[in-house]
Amino acid sequence: MREITFSEATLEAMAEEMERDARVFVMGEDIARQGGIFGQFKGLPQRFGTDRVLDTPISETAIVGAGVGAALAGMRPVVDMHFADFITVCMDEVVNQMAKIRYMFGGQCTVPVVLRAPDGIIRSAAAQHSQSLESWFLHVPGLKVVVPSNPADAKGLLKAAIRSDDPVLYFEHKALFPTKGPVPDGDHLVPIGKANIVRPGRDLTIVSYSMMLHRVLEAADKLAGQGIEAEVIDLRTISPIDFDAIYASIAKTHRLMIVHEAVKTGGVGAEIAARAAEENLDLLDAPIVRIGAPYVPIPFSPNLEKLVKITADDVALAAKKLCN
Amino acid sequence: MKHDAEFLRHLYRRMISIRLFEEKIGELFLGGELPGFVHLYVGEEAIAVGVCASLTDQDYITSTHRGHGHCIAKGAKIGPMMAEIFGKQTGYCKGKGGSMHIADFSVGMLGANGVVGGGYNLAVGAALAAKMRKSGQVAVCFFGDGASNRGTFHEGINMAAAWKLPVVFVNENNQWASTTPYRTTNNIEDIADRAKGYGIPGVVVDGNDIFAVLETAKAAIDRARAGEGPTLIEAKTYRIKGHFVGDPEMYRTKAEVQKHFDENDPLKNFAHKVIGAKLLKQADLDAIASETAREIEQAVGEARQAPYPDEAELFADLYVEGVK
């Protein structure tokens, strides 16, 4: 299979969907002239014109609010947040408008907006440009949230998000943009809400997503050398979470660990651990383990930044303890 | 006066519908029949009706927490509005929205909004959709003087002005942001002055004179339709009722309110002008008023009889594509 970067995969998804449906357009800061900070929009304005690839003012409430308004008027907008951290500036538009409009108007309309949000730690971007805020949005009924970990899923989930009649938040880890991987040719779609078993195993289940999936896979290799076979689940979507896949796995392994880059407190892992304990405690032979960032803003100094990053060794060590 | 009798009857029917609807809602609320809380549009009827008279069902409006008048002016039906305010299944939103969230997408009414200043960007987005489709549609955003101090005012109007979008921003300056008088939180007399900062026309109009509103709004709507961009209209009026029904109104005297109503009641102004010009008779107006009162009584009767939403409705319309 051909190999392309994560960034190229998202670009293919955008181009194919814009080609397929004239209602699809994209707007955000620095996307037309610059092509996006990570090159993820390069070439789109040349191909589709600056009427469908729009450089906006630095006005997050207008970018997201106008995206919602355009969706209500029959378009299928993709809006770009520049950095996921900036969603904080337009929480009303995301939480009170985008998420609720269809429900509170009794299903009179759909809100097919995709909000793209580059997140995660990269090169000392510091406290306001490094966060992983995805767990906030599982708490908001009405949104769907996807978190691809590789180029194939990046393409397939973005295409599925654009075709979804529900609003979708698409968190793309900044450090993944240049990474390469195999992507199927043609109209490749990945269903929203379906996890992927990326490595089968019998001894414990490790659930992860986005960038951290790669640390988990490295850890799984190390563990295999020590006779521990981890089953690794890539969630791909965190709202809704594919609990069927998680439960099927722990029915086999009886041990559960969740790993994410976001702060551990109140994170996706907390929700999964609580639900698994409520609904399937009898499947588990050991306490559930969560690995996430410590409860602190992301510091600037590389020396400190590395202390909040989860490593494969952190995962392997915790897994070994869980299995003993 | 250049308007024909049929058009004048139409204007009066819409204005008196709003007046009688709101008075009935106030009565029902104080009688303990309505859940939630309600904000009445009494005294501001000339603005919504005067603006919407130049719009078609294909044009869009966004509204506010004080939105019943905008709904009626845009052509929403009294029956499903009343049922919605009662929280009944037969309401516009199946009882899921209530007074602050009535929408009627079939006439381009994109919804009332519980968040002050939440409507600007939705209207900007609808206008963006219209511009991209070259459909000739126009969007109108109604907002209060309190909402003029939200940051969304700036972000929405700036984006609309920069992109010359077909949108008209209609400020209803009723002098009160909830319980706070306009001039205690603004350093300018006219909100319309801010238009200069966006390079768009800003016009002050007497919001209690429907003929002045009609003329001003028509010019702005025609301008938007012709692709010349947005206009900021400030319609000066006065909030005759409290912020909500049941507001003790300790912040002003009854005499002040009465004086405004006696001197500026938009319905009285209308009657005075059309009867003075011998275009309609008092008997014509009375006939319309009694017909409207009957229609409202019928809506109340039907809303009382209508069922509350079935419990199975709780999760309906949350997502288009099912989520467990």
Give residue limits of the domains in chain B: 5-311
Single residue among A182, A214, A235 that ends a domain in this structure: A182
Close Cβ partners of B73 (under 8 Å, ≥ 6 residues apart): B14, B18, B45, B48, B49, B51, B52
Give the number of domains in chain A: 2
What share of residues in chain B are helix, strand, coil (percent, to 5)? 50, 10, 40
Which residue numbers of A are catalytic?
A: 129
Chain A CB within 8 Å of residue B248 CB: no
Do A72 and A101 have their domain in common? yes
Residue A33 pLDDT: 92
- Cβ pair B122:A102 closer than 8 A: no
Mutate to test the interface with A, among B63, B64, B65, B121 (most CBs of A within 10 A): B121
Domain that holds residue A51: 3-182
CA B215 to CA A98: how far, in whole Å?
A: 35
Do A124 and A233 have their domain in common? no
Amino acid letter for position B1: M
Do A114 and A152 have their domain in common? yes
Residue numbers of B between 185 and 244 with CB closer than 8 Å to A? none
Residue B321 pLDDT: 85
Do A177 and A73 have their domain in common? yes
Do A45 and A134 have their domain in common? yes
Chain B CB within 8 Å of residue A249 CB: no
DSSP letters for A297-321: PPPSSHHHHHHHS--HHHHHHHHHH
Instruction: Report, as ranges of residue numbers, the positions in chain B whose pLDDT lies below 70.
Output: 1, 323-324
A96 located within any domain: yes
Q: What is the mean pLDDT of chain B?
A: 97
A65 located within any domain: yes
Chain B CB within 8 Å of residue A95 CB: no
Q: How far is A149 from chain B (nearest CA, A)?
A: 22
Mutate to test the interface with B, among A76, A91, A108 (most CBs of B within 10 A): A108
Number of Cβ pairs < 8 A linking chain A and chain B: 151
CA B152 to CA B141: how far, in whole Å?
A: 12
Residue numbers of B between 51 and 80 with CB closer than 8 Å to A? 60, 62
Do A71 and A109 have their domain in common? yes
> Nearest Cβ partner of B93 from A97, A105, A165?
A105
Q: Are A257 and A206 in contact (CB under 8 A)?
A: yes
Fold designation for B5-311: Rossmann fold (3.40.50)
Q: Which residues of A touch B122 (CB under 8 A)?
A: 65-66, 68-69, 72, 97
A187 located within any domain: no
> Nearest Cβ partner of B321 from A72, A109, A166?
A166
> Nearest Cβ partner of B101 from A74, A104, A166?
A104
A106 located within any domain: yes
A266 located within any domain: yes
Q: Does the ipTM surpass 0.90?
A: yes
Which phi and psi (to 5°) does residue A301 adopt? Answer: -55, 125
Residue A324 pLDDT: 86
Q: Among positive and negative, which fits the CA dihedral A7, A13, A19, A23?
A: negative
> Nearest Cβ partner of B156 from A51, A65, A96?
A65
The CA-based dihedral angle spanning residues B116, B118, B124, B126, taken in that order and rounded to the nearest 10 degrees: -120
> DSSP code of B272?
H
CA A194 to CA A313: how far, in whole Å?
A: 28
- Cβ pair A105:B92 closer than 8 A: yes
Do A235 and A168 have their domain in common? no
Give the CATH number, domain containing residue A83. 3.40.50.970
Q: Are A21 and A48 in contact (CB under 8 A)?
A: no
Do A209 and A255 have their domain in common? yes
A316 located within any domain: yes
Single residue among A182, A204, A236 that ends a domain in this structure: A182
A191 located within any domain: no
**For residue A284, what are its two tokens?**
């588990």
Q: What is the pLDDT along chain A (324 residues), one digit of tens a residue?
A: 899 999 999 999 999 999 999 999 999 999 999 999 889 999 999 999 999 999 999 999 999 999 999 999 999 999 999 999 999 999 999 999 999 999 999 999 999 999 999 999 999 999 999 999 999 999 999 999 999 999 999 999 999 999 999 999 999 999 999 999 999 999 999 999 999 999 999 999 999 999 999 999 999 999 999 999 999 999 999 999 999 999 999 999 999 999 999 999 999 999 999 999 999 999 999 999 999 999 999 999 999 999 999 999 999 999 999 998
- Cβ pair B62:A105 closer than 8 A: no
A226 located within any domain: yes
Do A113 and A176 have their domain in common? yes
